[in-house]
Amino acid sequence: GAVVSQHPSRVICKSGTSVKIECRSLDFQATTMFWYRQFPKQSLMLMATSNEGSKATYEQGVEKDKFLINHASLTLSTLTVTSAHPEDSSFYICSARPRGQGESGELFFGEGSRLTVL
């Protein structure tokens, strides 16, 4: 089956530093990747939609300068949390839609990255 790998799975950083999270589709090409944030006992919140070779589309209320998304290739998207603060601590999850699948295609999720900002 399709595998999406996310790295790092856990990261602890100091306030004010930047953290990069990678999302890779290991055995398929993904034209579209999605980044979510999940708070404890809450639903997944879509942050942005990342399309290969173009700028990401951010959801309302998500600061694009704070959460930088780059989708440089068909197998890699990165989320960089810039100048992280304790309120950015959360579980960040990516998902990918295989190339060639339409809008109703199944999404495959990465393992998630737990960010703790001290």
| Interacting residues with other proteins (CB under 8 A) | 6, 34, 41-46, 91, 93, 103-104, 106-112, 114
DSSP 43: -
Q: Minimal distance in Å, beta carbon 72 to other proteins?
A: 22
Q: Minimal distance in Å, beta carbon 48 to other proteins?
A: 12
Q: Minimal distance in Å, beta carbon 74 to other proteins?
A: 20
- Our CB check for other proteins shows the closer of 17 and 59 to be 59
Residue carrying structure tokens 């290991």 = 26
How far is the CA of 52 from the CAs of 26, 69, 118, in angstroms?
15, 11, 33
- Our CB check for other proteins shows the closer of 82 and 112 to be 112
- Our CB check for other proteins shows the closer of 45 and 82 to be 45
DSSP 84: -
Residue carrying structure tokens 């959460």 = 67
Q: Minimal distance in Å, beta carbon 17 to other proteins?
A: 23
d(CA 62, CA 66): 8
Structure tokens at 29: 């090409």
